[in-house]
Amino acid sequence: MKILLDECTPRVVKKRLPAHDVSTVQEMGWAGVKNGELLMLAEAHFEVFITTDKNLRSQQKLSQRKLAFVLLPANQVPVVEAVIPILEAALASIKAGDFVRIPLPS
């Protein structure tokens, strides 16, 4: 599965998902690109967009996109590492147009 990590998403996600083809916005040369344009670029190359941007869903019409979206609960590395198993489970069944919100670990 081809996955793009948003700018503020910790790179530890890439290291912790070795079974997937994960790239970062920075690696793609898209740092600083605004969300609307970024999502159009991502659709041409990726299947899933992982972000920590809690406003993305209200700012963009995500259901009309060819991407699936995962919202992580925070961008702090310890929190992200704690939710990796939940993220992996979500990726196993995610499909285009889905929006999956990963909850904070308890």
Kindly report, residue by residue over 1-40, the tens digit of the pLDDT.
999 999 999 999 999 999 999 999 999 999 999 988 999 9
Pairing of strands 68-71, 48-51: parallel
Looking at residue 75, its pLDDT comes to 94
Cα angle 95, 68, 31; round to 5? 150
- The domain locations on the chain are 2-101
**Fold designation for 2-101:** Rossmann fold (3.40.50)
Which of 101, 87, 105, 96 is closest to 20 using CA atoms? 87
Closest C-alpha to 75, from 7, 9, 1: 9
pLDDT digits (tens, 9 = 90+) for 48-81: 999 999 988 878 877 778 999 999 999 999 999 9
